[in-house]
Amino acid sequence: MKTVQLTQPDDAHLHLRDGVYLKTTVPATAKQFARAIVMPNLKPPVTTLDALIAYKARILSAIPAEFSFEPLMTLYLTDSTTPQQIAEVAASKEVTAIKLYPAGVTTHSEAGVKELTQLYPVFAAMEAYDLPLLIHGETSDPTVDIFDRERYFLDQMESIVQKFTQLRVVFEHITTQEAVQFVLSASDHLAATITPHHLLLNRNHLLSGGIRPHYYCLPVLKRRQHQEALLAAATSGNKKFFLGTDSAPHTVSTKEAACGCAGIYSAHAAIELYAEAFDRAGALDKLEGFASHYAADFYRIARNTQQITLIQKPWKVAKALPFGDEIVVPLWAGDSLNWQLLENRE
């Protein structure tokens, strides 16, 4: 049987949700990842240090004893965040990065930023205190076609990276060839996360032969040519591209609805899903850098020392998983994956 050994990976973009849902999401991630960058788009969003510390404590109490896992917390940027607050946050050492949602672009982004340029003093403070900025890079202009919202955001992204040359920026969950090119042409202070679903799927999976709400996420899946550009970037061995699942569970009833929520749950099998994508591209040898090294290097934290093992043994993903009082339909539900994580508990 073929096996692959990897340094234990980190998830650089994860939605754990809160309350009862932590019982599902935290163990799922902790069984494979050593650390994860936790998104702050709760309701209400995590906009203060106190809220962040309390949320982190709830996450820590949901980690099963057999795993060691470190949540790396992010703070939600709003129009009223101040440079003073950035100074406090930086001094606390509790905050790994600051997350920017343009207002209205995605789930729980209503409290996000309306005018980016208004926040330039805040970005300057982040640059001075060396706090990375994580950007959901889509324009919030509702008149722009949904498939073009990432491409239209590139001008704003360009303004930010040009003006704040020492600010580390992550262009989150990129979905287009243009974003790949943009990241490649920028300095090493700009990196990007890539999700498993954008590597494995394109918009035909979402819309052809019937509408599939469990493939609906934001940024929305794009055409195949973009999927191929993302695969090429992820498997290139370039350290600017690293793993960020954007695992974002919603209950089945809020997905299978007249107005279904955006978000795909992938934490149940994240590393196996990436292994599938990399294997299909004939690039399993590039998985370790992408999954386990480059995010740590970008965030200037030590690479993990533990190992995980994947074995080549087909298995079927469950059709549904318990999620609070309801269920969640995971990515690849009912389908087969070729690689399986050998669970090495502590």
Q: Please list the active-site residues.
A: 246
Would you say 45 or 289 has its CB closer to ligand NCD?
45
Q: Is 252 in the site for ligand NCD (CB under 6 A)?
A: no
- The bridge status of strand 307-316 relative to strand 336-342 is antiparallel
Q: Which lies closer to ligand NCD via its Cβ, residue 41 or residue 140?
A: 41
Q: In whole angstroms, how close is the CB of 34 to ligand NCD at the nearest point?
A: 22
Q: Which of 217, 230, 308, 331 binds ligand NCD (CB under 6 A)?
A: 217
Nearest to ligand NCD of 6, 22 (CB atom)? 22
Residues 332, 338: Cα–Cα separation, whole Å: 12
In the region spanning residues 215 to 254, those forming contacts with Zn ion, defined by CB under 5 A, are: 246
Distance CA 140, CA 74 (A): 21
Determine, following the binding rule CB under 6 A, whether residue 41 of this chain makes contact with ligand NCD: yes
Q: Is 136 in the site for ligand NCD (CB under 6 A)?
A: yes
Q: Compute how many residues bind ligand NCD; rule: CB under 6 A.
A: 11
Long-range residue pairs from 199-203, CB within 8 A, at least 24 positions apart, any chain: 199/227, 199/230, 199/231, 199/234, 199/274, 199/277, 200/273, 200/276, 200/277, 201/227, 202/226, 202/227, 203/147
Q: Residue 246, interface with ligand NCD (CB under 6 A)?
A: yes
Rounded Cα distance, 213 and 292, in Å: 31
Comparison of 217 and 229: residue with beta carbon closer to ligand NCD: 217
The answer to whether 11 contacts ligand NCD (rule: CB under 6 A) is no
Residue 218 lies near ligand NCD (rule: CB under 6 A) = yes
- What are the tokens at 245? 């699942």
Give the interface with ligand NCD as residue ranges (CB under 6 A): 15, 41, 106-107, 136, 217-218, 246, 248, 262-263
Give the interface with Zn ion as residue ranges (CB under 5 A): 246
